[in-house]
Chains A and B, each alone.
Chain A
Amino acid sequence: MSFLLSPAPHVRDNKSVPGVMCVVMIALLPATIGGIYFFGLQAAILIALSVVSAVVTEFVMNKMMKREVSIMDGSAALTGLLLALCVSPALPYYQVVFGSIFAIIIGKQLFGGLGFNVFNPALVGRAFLAAAFPVHMTTWLAPFAYRGLDAVTQATPLAAMKFSQQTTSYVSLLYGNVGGCIGETSVVLLLLGGLFLLTKGIINWRISFSYLGTVAVLSVLFGADPIFHLLAGGLMLGAFFMATDYVTSPITDKGMWIFGIGAGVLVVIIRLFSGLPEGVMYSILFMNAFVPLINRYTRPRIFGRRG
């Protein structure tokens, strides 16, 4: 009789990398379905194209770089989904494909694949699209335009506020029948997914809480409406699904606070003082760059040693 030899420990808990990716995708399901409900078939096609191109790109890159095929870990599909959820529903199809390919190649594979990228790949893809196709990326579809209602385009609540001082009701922001990226408009659906991730122990509350909290506090300080700034734009999607990306966020508790607060400060500065209506993407990408430094300077005090 032969027995298996392997090093201790001999028992493990039930979390795994594909499992984590899968749970995050499940958590995004409400917002995904919401996006399709508000923006129609077009949104569904964009999501499908983005996911498929991400997975195909990952596979091709694996082969070209002579690495193990990693499409089954779910991370490429997740990147594709996240990218689709943060682009305009009016985006031409080929553009989302470009964005997705860019996200996987530049955002992830060239750094060394899963676990080695510095920046959130989906946001890298989005930043590329914002730079390459600025007009398309800021042309928004009115919700339910597919049902043939009169208005076809509609500004996002943040743009309406910034450029024409128009307010949007909290109810609409919570429900999601406003202009915006496919997956960012419905706060209720995003919160549902976020709370699911928190209760499943997948994401840590510190990043989301400090990020949202900082935005709220600073909005008050600068005389803006904190509730509006929490509910509008991509903040909820960013706070629960982008800023919390394991690979590109700090691993220490203290580091998470720094990361969240830093990103929150950046969002408020961009939203209130720059030419752009929205700053979630840049706030997270910018803080991503600080993560190695944050991790280094927030090292926990080792047991039995002086701080």
Chain B
Amino acid sequence: MKTFAKGIHPEYCKDRTKNSKIVELAIPLKVIIPLHQNLGASCEPLVKVGDEVSEGQKIGETSKFVSAPVHASISGKVTRIEKLPHPCGVNVLSVVIEAHNVQCPISNVQLKKFDDIDPEEIRQSVKEAGIVGLGGAAFPTHVKLSPPKDKKIDTILVNGCECEPYITADHRIMLERAEDVVKGAKLVAKACNAGRIIFGVEENKKDATKALREVLRHEPEEGIYDGMEVITLETKYPQGGEKMLIKAMLEREVPSGGLPLDVGVVVANVGSCVAISEAVFKGIPLTKRVVTVTGSGIREPKNLLVRIGTTFKEIVDQCGGLTDDAYKVIMGGPMMGVAQYTLEVPVVKATSCILVLAKKDVKEEKVYPCIKCGRCARSCPMSLVPTRLAAYANAAKFSDFDEWGGQDCMECGCCVYVCPAKIPIVQLVKLGKLKLRQMK
């Protein structure tokens, strides 16, 4: 089975939600929509307090290329525009919308045919819809779809790995929306003028592999691509990391500091593919996403289709609430997710999961000195020596940190997971990277 070198096998904990169908959450009375939900530039508000907005209306935008507009996810009245808590841990300028009694759902009128759409149109629709990578990185998708002229893209990889423990959102999307995943992938291929599409799914989601293969078998004639296939990958973290995925599936190594397009590849997450398909064929902007709500601190774990801007509180309440011993709230998975201090934060485009851990699953570990066991180096998928990087960052030796490849770290957390001394290596590496950025 294909995979990359090193990595770890954490406990997957996906059983509680992998069989629960995606359910759409009722329209919330209030949404908080941060104007910064992507890697890159923030948006400027297009509305002011008191304005009436309808669902799908663009409410924030910027002229910067690496950015994505944001849209109202409900119809209602703008009641506040101010800095509010964002699940990434900082306060971000956000638009608060309170719902009308009457909702005016987005009218999907466009309904285009695949062959009538040209690449530029795909990019435009994707940009207008505010689509970003829904796997968690939130990189604006239209940027990915606009490779420079001198970079030839030959392969589109569709990422259905979902290697983070607990999360089952992509798994359910592949089962329930397989057709849209394939449609979206074809749009990506068309936009990038790529001739090949490969779907990568981890071995623990055999039913998803089957669902995708089923769709490929009955593929309608329009836009048939050679070698559309589904590849099963070893269940291993971080299999879904872009660089690891490309290495595993194509034996190509993205150069240090480079992008997938440097090796002729564009990677798209399965959820993003569905969003792309909706945006291009139906003109629907990204106002909802699938969120897995799970963990030992949640009474009734679910996979929910949630409007962007819905608060964690509202979502958790719809999942039976927190257990009495709920102790840690995380946006994202347990390996790379961000701990939250409040439930009054909104779901953003990058929220794939709300994970609540009960006290029994949260170990507050004592930190010991590094005993040079080398487990971190043997688990690092980037082949770094994490203990060195942590030591250099800690000692403020930033040039050594750089020399030993600190900037190549993708912060996947494998090193910390295996560290017997429980050293917060990733945290120290982040510090090192920050200092290097400030020095440059």
Contacts and interface: CB of A to CB of B under 8 A. Distances in A.
A7 interface: yes
B371 A9 contact: no
A10 B372 contact: no
A2 B369 contact: no
Contact of B371 (A3, A247, A302, A305): A247
Interface residues of B, number: 66
A115 B255 contact: no
Contacts of A295: 385
Interface in B344-377: 355, 357, 361-365, 368-375, 377
Contacts of A9: 334-336, 413, 416-417, 426
Interface stretch (A13-21, A134-142, A150-158): A13-21
A304 B254 contact: yes
B394 interface: no
A149 interface: no
Contacts of B337: 8, 10
A79 B39 CA distance: 50
B370 A115 contact: yes
A12 interface: yes
Nearest to B365: A12
Contacts of A2: 341
Nearest to A248: B372
A5 B339 contact: yes
B357 A16 contact: no
B422 interface: yes
Contacts of A116: 369
B379 to A, nearest CB: 10
A8 B338 contact: yes
Given A115-B370, A115-B372, A10 B330 contact: yes
B381 interface: yes
A64 interface: no
Given A3-B341, A8-B338, A114 B369 contact: yes
Contact of A302 (B328, B370, B405): B405
- Greatest chain A CB density within 10 A among B361, B404, B417 is at B417
Contacts of B143: none
B322 A1 contact: yes
Interface string A207-247: 00000000000000000000000000000000000000011
Contact of A3 (B258, B327, B373): B327
B328 A20 contact: no
Nearest to A251: B374
B253 interface: yes
A257 to B, nearest CB: 13
Contacts of A251: 372-374, 377, 385, 387
A304 B417 contact: no
A302 B384 contact: yes
- Greatest chain B CB density within 10 A among A2, A251, A299 is at A251
A16 B379 CA distance: 16
A303 B384 CA distance: 8
B391 to A, nearest CB: 10
Contact of A13 (B329, B336, B370, B417): B417
B87 to A, nearest CB: 12
A6 interface: yes
Contacts of A3: 326-329, 339-342
A147 interface: no
B421 interface: yes
B372 A11 contact: no
A114 B363 contact: no
A7 B422 contact: no
B226 interface: no
B377 A252 contact: yes
A301 interface: yes
A304 B420 contact: no
A13 B10 contact: yes
Contact of B243 (A10, A15, A204, A304): A304
A300 B11 CA distance: 28
A191 to B, nearest CB: 22
Contacts of A249: 372
Contacts of B384: 300, 302
A231 B297 CA distance: 55
B427 interface: yes
Given A12-B416, A17-B421, A299 B371 contact: no
Contacts of B377: 251-252, 300
A38 to B, nearest CB: 32
A20 B385 CA distance: 21
B316 to A, nearest CB: 11
A80 interface: no
Contact of B334 (A1, A10, A247): A10
Contact of B369 (A13, A16, A18, A113): A113
B267 interface: no
A5 B89 CA distance: 10
Nearest to A12: B417
Nearest to B336: A8
B10 A11 contact: yes
A198 B211 CA distance: 42
Contacts of B305: none
Contacts of B413: 8-9
A295 B383 CA distance: 14
B258 A304 contact: yes
B254 A16 contact: no
A6 B383 contact: no
A17 B253 contact: no
Please name the 8 residue pairs, one residue from A and one from B, whose CB atoms are nearest each other, closest first. A251-B374, A9-B413, A115-B369, A17-B368, A300-B383, A304-B256, A246-B373, A15-B420
14 contacts: A7-B339, A7-B426, A8-B334, A8-B416, A9-B416, A13-B418, A73-B368, A75-B371, A114-B369, A204-B374, A251-B372, A303-B381, A304-B255, A304-B256
Given A115-B370, A246-B372, A302-B256, 20 more contacts: A3-B328, A4-B339, A6-B328, A7-B424, A7-B426, A8-B332, A8-B334, A9-B413, A11-B417, A15-B375, A115-B368, A204-B374, A247-B371, A247-B372, A251-B373, A302-B405, A303-B382, A304-B254, A304-B256, A304-B257
Interface of A: 1-13, 15-20, 73, 75, 113-116, 204, 246-253, 295, 299-305
